[in-house]
Chains A and B, each alone.
Chain A
Amino acid sequence: AQSVTQLDSQVPVFEEAPVELRCNYSSSVSVYLFWYVQYPNQGLQLLLKYLSGSTLVESINGFEAEFNKSQTSFHLRKPSVHISDTAEYFCAAGNTGGFKTIFGAGTRLFVKA
């Protein structure tokens, strides 16, 4: 069965420092991978996605994630975080022919001044 594991439940970091949020998936079929962000009192919003092609994908606000098939990982990174990046981040996976998306448990990113 497909599963998604986010290795850190909380990540505190100072403003302008780099950050990495870790995500591993398990699947016996081709996967599609997503990162979503949830700001307080809101629903989830798509941050970026990997479907095929280049293994490095980027978002418009400076986040990037790299698909690593050999390590079954899709870690999210940002070289310099802002206070406004404080949110919960969810890694998720879908697959060919499937209706469902499997979500990880989420990582709370706290950016401190």
Chain B
Amino acid sequence: DVKVTQSSRYLVKRTGEKVFLECVQDMDHENMFWYRQDPGLGLRLIYFSYDVKMKEKGDIPEGYSVSREKKERFSLILESASTNQTSMYLCASSLMSGNQPQHFGDGTRLSIL
């Protein structure tokens, strides 16, 4: 079974801090994704990556950046955390083709105080 592991289940940070969320997958998937999930808004794509060192903006990239130095690892970075970035963050991975389902981690619930 594919396993997608997010480094923290719960995280509390302060406004202005630089925050790193880490995600690792163990099935050699080409694609990796970062979403945020907010009540009533579903999943919104922040960034995705289809190869090492490649990244593409999603629907809401402002205030975020990403890093993919190795195929199995995809990091989300909040450059200067703000309270409106308090949310559930979900990482996912998939094989390259659009007909492949995504495999999700359990999420990180991030609170910015």
Contacts and interface: CB of A to CB of B under 8 A. Distances in A.
Interface string B52-67: 0000101000000000
Chain B interface: which size bin? 20 to 34
Contacts of A99: 31, 48, 50, 56, 96, 98
18 contacts: A32-B98, A36-B101, A41-B106, A42-B106, A44-B43, A46-B102, A90-B42, A99-B31, A99-B50, A99-B96, A99-B98, A100-B45, A100-B48, A100-B98, A101-B94, A101-B98, A103-B42, A106-B42
B34 interface: no
A51 interface: yes
B99 interface: yes
Given A99-B31, A99-B50, A105-B42, A44 B99 contact: no
A43 B45 CA distance: 15
B112 to A, nearest CB: 20
Interface extent on A, as a size class?
20 to 34
A44 B90 contact: yes
A34 B104 CA distance: 14
A9 interface: yes
B99 to A, nearest CB: 4
Interface of B: 4, 31, 33, 40-43, 45, 48, 50, 56, 58, 90, 92, 94, 96, 98-107
A43 B40 contact: no
**Which residue among A9, A41, A43, A45 has the maximum number of chain B CB atoms within 10 Å of its CB?**
A43
B40 A9 contact: yes
B107 A103 contact: no
Contacts of B101: 34, 36, 46, 49
B98 A43 contact: no
A43 B107 contact: yes
Contacts of B42: 90, 103-106
A2 to B, nearest CB: 10
A32 B99 contact: yes
A96 B100 CA distance: 10
Contacts of A62: none
